[in-house]
Every structure is written in C-alpha cells, then in structure tokens.
Amino acid sequence: MIIFVKAKTNSKMEKVERTDSLLDNETHFKVFVKEPPVEGKANKAIIKAIASYLKIAPSRVEIIRGLTSKEKVMEIN
C-alpha cells in the first residue's frame, strides 16, 4: 500500500491526522513530530508514528520518495 505524508517537524506534540476523511481510503496523512529534520531524526520519528497509527511494525514502513522533503511517499509492506 502506498500512502502520502506531509511532515510537520519541530512540533510541540506528536500526532497523526488523516487528511482525506471524506474518502473511503486512508492514503493522505499529516504527521507531527517533535524531532528536527536533522540527520534523519524526523524521518525515523515519522516512520514510528505512522507504524503506531496503523498498528504495524516500523520495519514494514519505508519512505520511497521525499527523504529530504516535507512531502513524502511511503510504502507499507
């Protein structure tokens, strides 16, 4: 499954919001993380947040596009 994530780093609290609530599929999310976008810290936090939200192991989540961008494309295996 492919999902699209808009990353919000340096947030005061961590949370995941679904942004396509009117549609039947869950493919677009906003992810708020406390970590700064330095040395991959935010990417790791985003992976953990998405995995926790979807109730899956973080090893099943992979960023396939947008490692240095706020707009990320992730694959769930």
For residue range 54-75, list pLDDT tens digits in order. Answer: 999 999 999 999 999 999 999 9
pLDDT, tens digit, 9 for 90 and up, residues 19-45: 876 555 678 999 999 999 999 999 999
Fold (CATH) for 2-76: Conserved Hypothetical Protein Mth637; Chain: A; (3.30.1200)
Question: Per-domain residue ranges for the chain?
Answer: 2-76
Q: Model confidence at 8, in pLDDT bands (50, 70, 90)?
A: very high
pLDDT confidence of residue 22: 58
CA 67 to chain centre: 11
Find the mean pLDDT for residues 4-17. 94
Structural contact between residues 11 and 33, judged by C-beta atoms closer than 8 angstroms: yes
pTM for the model stands at 0.89
